[in-house]
Structure 1
Amino acid sequence: MKAVFVQDAYSVIVKEVEIPVLAANEVLIKVKAAGICGSDLHTYKGLHPFRKPPVIIGHELSGEVVKIGEAVTKLQVGDHVTVEPQTGCGTCEYCLTGNINYCENRGAPGIGNWYGAMAEYFAAPEQTVFKLPDGMDYEQGVLVEPFAVGVHAVRKAGIGVGDKVAILGAGPIGLLAMVASKVAGATTLLVTDVMDYALDSALNMGATHTLNILNKKEWMEEAKMLVGGSFDKVLVAAGVPGIIDQALALLGKGGRVVTIAMFHGDQTFNIHNLQNQEKEIVGCMTYTREDTITAIDLIAAGAVNKSVIITHRLSPEQAAEGFRIVDKKEDSSLKVLVEF
């Protein structure tokens, strides 16, 4: 089968590899579409903490079940599905309380023997596979995983009715976190970025305010002026230097920052802004089963406009081009799909 490899830093190629052999509890999925995620870019740049080249890349996918293991009971050949691409040990306190994302032995595509999803076929344990509701297409199915990230961040932030929320970064994760914030009841949604096209997309997806912060040092005051005061919650979807201190500066007393982006290197902030005003910084790691189910239900209900967020549909042979345009933010790219 064809598979897209990050062969080395900034090197993406297509190889022929063997179709995965199923374990008894696994299903084989004929991949219809796979997305290029921001964390895939970290692998592409050789910066990911645990997914290292050479590796079959990808973890956002949808497709059709074409084979099932002998122990599979809830899925059938022909089912249209997506995948929550993580596994836990199943026995630790975190797995037993529904927090697989905390498991010390958490598995994910592209790690160990689990192939990545950007290939013609993908094997996954039955418990990670979800049927797509009637009427949900494969492209919407690809958006379930990144939307679950946004749903989880909103839960961690505790966003509720009437909240003022700032989303820092208008990439796909930031935009989907904004949609999840709106669904949760936030009535003021400000999105920042350095690309006007991404901010236009934020408006099209429901943002009430946008701000281009390119070459602006004191943009935090401008942001607060736009919405008439400080923010209740800030979601950080861009891992750039200094952004945590900037996020704290946006918050009112008692507000909460949730970090979604992957960071490289240290982040510094003014501890007095945190302690003296009882603000909070909360980490956010992937999602739980509840978040994935919620993401599926919300997409099925029409919460996410795929025509805005999906900007490119490429063949496997064009995957290298896809990684480049996402990395360089070329051609007004947001979510780039590789379709099989």
Structure 2
Amino acid sequence: MMKAVFVEAAYQIEVKEVEEQPVEANEVVIKVKAAGICGSDIHTYKGLHPFRKPPVIIGHEVAGEIVKVGEAVKKFKVGDRVTVEPQTGCGSCEYCLTGKINYCENRGAPGVKGWYGTMAEYFVAPENCVFKLPDNVDLYQGVLVEPLAVGVHAVRKADIQLGEKVAILGAGPIGLLTLACVKAAGATTILVTDVMDYCLESAQKLGATHTLNITDKANWVDEIRGQIGPFDKVLVAVGVPGIINQALGLLRKGGRVVTIAMFHGEQSFDIGNLQGSEKEIVGCMTYTREDTQAAIELIANGYVDSDVIITHKLPYAQAAEGFRMVDKKEDSSIKVLVTFE
């Protein structure tokens, strides 16, 4: 038996004992050091997630130490410090065979189709989803690999070039980690917007050249264009109504919007602005193995200040407090980790 954190129902977090998950020949068992609370976990917490429904063991960000390996595992051994890219594909479709597991029609993820979430004392994962952490990356930093891979993938979808002007709308954990990737890609003017000053202060620490609190600013797009001019790329890391039209308003002719956030419902935008200026809107869905490896390299080589991102570490018994903190943005929280010491 082991302890696990459940979203039992909307806005209801419980710690319960469950049977440990069986281990297949190609799988490893990870003793979890910490698991992160992600924005998509909050969607589950609110009962809004499209496919991860309560009651469910929550979590998909994780780092820990391998304590058992299946008989067919070749790349890992007991004692290895690892993180996990939490998605699986069928392995045989066109997308899987070309490295686009995130497109697979039978894509699996923690908390779906019987795969336990990561917020438990032990987590079982297929060998091909597991990545060894470099010696200079601690296990708390290892939890950031998965959300950072989202930022890596977004930057690649945006095709950010050296010297470009980039705007990031939303300064939560994904927006801030995307900022680190945008800076690493060579953008020289980086605007970050949000409605919380403390998030924007964190963006400044991570290299944003401009920040703006857009609370009660109806014409902030015109204000920014007047100050900075149009942007080459706009990355949308918050799924609020009207955000796509605002993103398009920031773009230069021929520029590109990339949608990272999880959206609910429809978004309206000015199709004339899109078509007449040959602007683009590009979707962005999780990451690939290549993105995850790049995320590890970025952390290992000092491109991400984890002390800015990770604001709280709470023992699993306080998981409910952590979810409330993230949902309500209490105590200047950004990335909250749930630990299993």
TM range (shorter): over 0.9
Contact 1:58-1:110 at 8 Å conserved across structures: yes
Shift of 1:223: 1.8
1:331 counterpart SS class? helix
Q: 1:164, 1:225 → 2: CA distance?
A: 14
Partner-residue secondary structure (3-state), 1:313: strand
**Residue type of the partner of 1:213?**
I
Query: CA deviation digits over 1:300-336, x for unaligned, max 9?
Result: 0011101111011001111101110110111101000
Deviations 1:271-305 (A, max 9, x none): 00100000000000000011000000010001110
Match of residue 30 from structure 1: 31
Match of 1:106 in 2: 107
The match for 1:233 is: 233
Aligned to 1:21: 22
1:171 Cα deviation after fit: 0.1
Q: CA deviation at 1:225?
A: 2.9
* CA–CA separation in structure 2 for the residues paired with 1:158 and 1:91: 28
Does 2:239 match 1:260?
no
Matched, 1:72 2:73: yes
Q: Using the alignment, how far apart are the partners of 1:119 and 1:224 within structure 2?
A: 47
Cα deviation, 1:46-105, whole Å, max 9, x if unaligned, reads 000000000000000000000000110110000000000000000000000000000000
**What is residue 335 of structure 1 aligned with on the other side?**
335
Write the distance in 2 (CA, Å) between the matches of 1:225 and 1:172.
28
Distance 1:230 1:216 in 2: 18
Q: How many Å separate the matches in 1 of 2:322 and 2:220?
A: 32
SS at match of 2:331: coil
Provide the C-alpha distance between the structure 1 equivalents of 2:38 and 2:127, rounded to a whole number of angstroms. 23
Map of 1:296 onto structure 2 = 296
Distance 1:246 1:282 in 2: 15
- Whether 1:59 and 2:60 are equivalent positions in the alignment is yes
- Please give the alpha-carbon distance, in whole angstroms, between the structure 2 residues aligned to 1:9 and 1:163: 42
Residues 12-161 of structure 1 aligned to structure 2 (within 5 Å): 12-161=13-162
**Cα distance in 1 for residues equivalent to 2:32 and 2:59:** 11
Q: Which amino acid aligns with 1:226?
A: Q
- The gaps in structure 2 that reach 5 residues or longer are none
Question: What is the distance in 2 between the residues matched to 1:310 and 1:225?
Answer: 34
Q: For 2:335 and 2:224, locate their aligned partners in 1 and report how far apart those are by CA, in whole Å.
A: 26
Structure 1 match to 2:168: 167
Between the aligned partners of 2:179 and 2:202, the Cα distance in structure 1 is: 11
Aligned AA (2:317): E
CA drift at 1:221: 1.4
Q: Displacement, 1:226?
A: 3.3
In structure 2, the partner of 1:281 is: 281
Tell me, yes or no, if structure 1 residue 181 matches structure 2 residue 159. Answer: no
Q: Deviations over 1:122-175 (max 9, x none)?
A: 000000000001111001100000000000000000101011000000000000
User: Which segments of 5 or more consecutive residues in structure 1 lack a partner in the other structure?
Assistant: none
TM-score by length of 2: 0.99
For these two proteins, the number of residue pairs brought into alignment is 339
| 2:311 matches 1:311 | yes
- SS of the equivalent of 2:330 reads coil
Q: Report deviation, 1:242.
A: 0.3
Could you state the TM-score of these two structures normalised by the residue count of structure 1?
Answer: 0.99
Deviation at 1:267, TM superposition (A): 0.2
Q: Distance in 2 between matches of 1:86 and 1:163?
A: 32
Contact 1:209 / 1:226 at 8 angstroms: preserved in 2?
A: no
What is the alpha-carbon distance in structure 2 between the residues aligned to residue 81 and residue 223 of structure 1? Answer: 42
User: How far does the alpha carbon of each residue in 1:190-223 deviate from its partner, in whole angstroms, 9 at most, with x for none?
Assistant: 0000000000000001100000000111101122
Q: Please tell me whether the aligned partners of residues 34 and 61 of structure 1 are also in contact (alpha carbons under 8 angstroms).
A: yes
| 1:237-248 → structure 2 map (5 Å cutoff) | 237-248=237-248
- Provide the C-alpha distance between the structure 2 equivalents of 1:190 and 1:273, rounded to a whole number of angstroms: 21
Q: Secondary structure at the match of 2:257?
A: strand
**AA matched with 1:56:** I
SS at match of 2:248: helix
Local SS of the residue matching 2:200: helix
SS of residue paired to 2:28: strand
SS of the residue 1:6 aligns to = strand
Q: Distance in 1 between matches of 2:312 and 2:146?
A: 18
User: What secondary structure sits across from 1:202 in the alignment?
Assistant: helix
Write the distance in 1 (CA, Å) between the matches of 2:226 and 2:311: 32
Aligned letter for 2:235? L
Q: Distance in 1 between matches of 2:139 and 2:223?
A: 40
SS where residue 13 of structure 1 aligns? strand
Determine the C-alpha separation between the residues in 1 that align with 2:171 and 2:224: 15
CA displacement at 1:224 relative to structure 2? 2.0
Local SS of the residue matching 1:336: strand
